[in-house]
Amino acid sequence: MGAKLLSALLPVTCGFLGVLFSNLPVTLFGGLVPPPMLGFIPVYFWCLVRPDLMPPSAAFAIGILQDVMSGGPPGIWTLSFVVSYAVIQRQRDAFAGLAGVAAVLGFATAMLIVCATAYFTTAAYYWHMAPLGPIVGELAISVLFYIPGAFVIGSLHRRLVGPLRSDF
Amino acid sequence: MTNNSWKIARRSNAQLPLVIVLALAVVLVLLGKAQLGLFDRARMRITDWMAPALESVHAPIQAFNRWVSSADELLVVYRENLELKDENARLKQWRNVAVVMQDRVRHYQEMLHAVPDPDINSVLARVIGRASRPFLQTMILDAGESRAVKPGEAVVDARGMIGRIYLAGDHTSWVILLTDLNSRIPVTIASASGKAASLQAIMTGDNTAMPLLDTLQQVVTLHPGDQVVSSGDGGLLPPGLPIGTVVQDAGGYRVALLADPASSEDVEVLGFRKPAEAPPSASPNQLPAVAAGLPPAAPPQPAPVPGSAPAAPAKAVVTPLPQMPRPAGNISAQAQVPRANIPAAGGNE
């Protein structure tokens, strides 16, 4: 019972921890390198492999925490996460079938949707187009961090969560 | 990801359908637009809670940042040292000029009985966190409402203004930097040559290192090197805070900031409240007739009381103009000269 509960809570917990880590108010390299969007990696990963453990409401909750922690306008990241979740869910077979570099490109596509949604929502919010540099930097660094992130999450998934039994 | 070995679940047991969650997310954005401080309380609670941890990791992070930034500086240290010596010699000359000017301004203010600048309470604070995100550039200070820090107050370091307090918790506060998208500051642009009149403008952050200058006039010519200081319009910021210098850009004019928020360690939060201007009290001496040198109209005579002595004939009495009270303390010349750059006369180097 305890192990089952742990495996059920693990994806959302990883999302929350990712948000907390990536929003620590600590900058390395003088703020030149933006923090990666670690909270979105579990959303993407478990939306593909175990959507029963990463429902839209979980993506919504992780997005809200990202909004609270990042200090930006309320709702921007929540909307971005949910929009990207919707796209991933519709194209799940295509995304989940990717491996190696293609899997990283798949995450890059999902992250591009997140960043584009956040960028245009913020532009509408302030009625002003923000410079593209910071959001492109955020996209690049998040994709870079997906490689170790997916490795860690994959290990956790194999050890603690596992595939859905009904799929066998 | 590895070996394409993931078993994909075919169905989702979502409690809330995706459409409803999407609609909720849109509502949240609209709600956030209507009520900007929607998450502020939660943000400050989390920041207050994290403050001890941030303070403890601050030193090693700062040491790492210093090490990274100094790695490439080792190559140019000799040339930089020569340039600094040269600059120091020039600054000493400017310091002497500034001390003379400060003395002269004080003298003129005493002659004019100038109203002293309002008091500015400052709170010293340490930077315990920084965040540079795509839509927010901020820093976190270890001073909050418990030390009388309030939202809207200016944050400065030894070089100039860095930003304003955005949120204030009990023990921490968030600073919105001048470079942030949300930052708008009324500024005064003083000509570097001193030949042109000063201009009013709005300095707008756009998440780049140099904020934009939005001048109120349609056609305006600025020169690189013109000084940008806070204008004090609106009464929230003290006037005359040094901010930066004008640089020309393809799309207009920008401000090269004097302060560097990435390296600021100790800052001051300036508590400034513009005193409410009281209307001048009317006195007989300020009547137009007196001002024109004529005697004022005699006040109406009271009706004589039967049995009393006859009243003396009315006589115009002109009292001298009251002396304006002299300012109690030293008149600071804060509006005219940068605070940090002008040491006290006779101070050590």
Q: Is the pLDDT of residue B337 over 60?
A: no
Residue A120 contacts B where some CB pair is shorter than 8 Å:
no
HSE-up of residue B286 (Cα within 13 Å, Cβ side) = 5
Cβ under 8 Å to A: B residues 256-295 = 262-263
pLDDT at B274 over 60: yes
Pick A27 or A50 by higher pLDDT: A50
Length of chain B, please?
Answer: 349
Do B136 and B40 meet the contact criterion of CB atoms below 8 Å apart?
A: no
Residue A47 in this model has a pLDDT that exceeds 70? yes
How far B44 CA sits from the closest chain A CA (Å)?
10
Q: Is A93 exposed, middle or buried (0-12, 13-18, 19+ CB in 10 A)?
A: exposed
Is the per-residue pLDDT at B116 higher than 60? yes
pLDDT at B333: 37
- Which member of A63, A104, A134 has the closest CB to residue B134? A134
Confidence grade of residue B1 (pLDDT, cut at 50, 70, 90): very low
Q: Do B134 and A130 touch (CB under 8 A)?
A: yes
- Contact residues for B170 (Cβ-Cβ < 8 A; gap 6+): B44, B48, B144, B145, B146
Whether the per-residue pLDDT at A145 is higher than 70: the answer is: yes
Which is nearest to A68 in space by CA: B28, B40, B25, B130?
Answer: B40
Is the pLDDT at B309 greater than 60, yes or no? no
Q: State percent of chain B over pLDDT 70.
A: 69
Is the predicted pLDDT of residue B117 greater than 60, yes or no?
A: yes
**Model pLDDT, residue B321:** 40
* B196-201, Cβ contacts within 8 angstroms, sequence gap of 24 or more: B200/B231, B200/B233, B201/B228
Chain B CB contacts of A167 below 8 Å: 7-10
| Least confident piece of the model among A134-138, A145-149, B15-19, B48-52 | B15-19
Q: Is the model more confident about A54 or about B280? A: A54
B252 in A contact zone (CB under 8 Å):
no
Give the residue, B36 or B320, on which the prediction is more confident: B36
pLDDT in tens, B228-250: 998 888 777 888 889 999 988 87
pLDDT score for B304: 59
B25 and A75 within 8 Å at the Cβ level: the answer is: yes
CB contact under 8 A, A71 and B174: yes
B52 Cβ under 8 Å from any chain A Cβ: no
For residues B134 and A118, the answer to whether their CB atoms sit within 8 Å is yes
Residue B28 near residue A75 (C-beta atoms within 8 A): yes
Nearest-CA distance B21 → chain A (Å): 6
Task: State ipTM.
Answer: 0.85
A118 φ/ψ angles, rounded to the nearest 5 degrees: -65, -40
Task: Place B318 in a pLDDT band, splitting at 50, 70 and 90.
Answer: very low
Give per-residue pLDDT as tens, A90-139. Answer: 888 888 878 888 889 999 999 999 999 999 998 888 887 888 888 898 89
Q: What is the mean pLDDT of chain B?
A: 75
| CA-based nearest distance A80→chain B, Å | 9
Would you state the pLDDT for residue B194? 66
Say if the Cβ atoms of A82 and B18 lie within 8 Å. yes
pLDDT above 60 (res B6): no
The residue-averaged pLDDT of B279-300 equals 62
Weakest mean pLDDT among B66-75, B126-135, B224-233, B305-314: B305-314
Q: Does B34 touch chain A (CB under 8 A)?
A: no
- Per-residue pLDDT tens over the stretch B152-169: 899 998 888 999 998 888
pLDDT at A148: 92
Winning range, highest mean pLDDT, from A107-121, B99-113, B118-132, B263-277: A107-121
Helix axes A2-22, A40-49, angle to 10 degrees: 140
Structure confidence at residue B2 as a pLDDT band (50, 70, 90) = very low
For residue B11, the distance in angstroms to the closest alpha carbon of chain A comes to 7
Give the pLDDT mean for B60-77.
Answer: 73
**Per-residue confidence (pLDDT) for residue B279, from 0 to 100:** 62
Average pLDDT over residues B291-318: 54
Is B9 in CB contact (< 8 Å) with chain A? yes
Q: Work out the average pLDDT over A28-52.
A: 84
Among A residues 8-47, those touching chain B with beta carbons less than 8 Å apart = 23-31, 34-35
Q: What is the mean pLDDT of residues B192-205?
A: 80
Q: Sketch the domain layout of chain A as residue ranges.
A: 2-24+33-160
Helices (H), chain B: 18-34, 40-71, 77-111, 288-291
**B299 vs B1, more confident:** B299
Residue B103 has pLDDT above 60, yes or no: yes
pLDDT band at B341, cuts 50/70/90? very low
Mutate to test the interface with A, among B2, B6, B249, B265 (most CBs of A within 10 A): B6
Q: Is the pLDDT of residue B67 over 80?
A: no
Residues 72-101 of A with CB under 8 A from B: 72-76, 78-79, 82-83, 85-86, 89, 92-93, 96-100
A28, pLDDT greater than 50: yes
**Are B12 and A89 within 8 A, CB to CB?**
yes
Query: What pLDDT sits at residue A121?
Result: 92
Q: How far apart are CA B188 and CA A64, in angstroms?
A: 40
- Select the highest-mean-pLDDT range: A85-99, A120-134, B25-39, B85-99: B85-99
State the pLDDT confidence band at B282, using cuts at 50, 70 and 90. low
Residue with tokens 């959302």: A12
**What would the DSSP string read from start to end of B60-105?**
HHHHHHHHHHHHTGGGGHHHHHHHHHHHHHHHHHHHHHHHHHHHHH
The distance in angstroms from the start CA to the end CA of chain B is: 63
From the list A112, A67, A104, the residue with the least C-alpha distance to A87 is A112
Residue B267 has pLDDT above 70, yes or no: yes
A2 to chain B, closest Cα gap in Å: 20
Please check the confidence at residue B303 and state whether its pLDDT lies above 70: no
Q: How far apart are CA B297 and CA B316, in angstroms?
A: 8
Both tokens of B25, joined, read 């997310």
- Closest CB to B135: pick one of A31, A72, A98: A72
For chain B, give the percent of residues with pLDDT over 90. 15
Candidates B135, B71, B281; CA nearest to A126 is: B135
Q: Which residue does chain A place closest to B16, by CA atoms?
A: A57
Q: Which residue has the higher pLDDT, B124 or A160?
A: B124
A127: left (phi over 0), alpha (psi -120 to 50) or beta: left
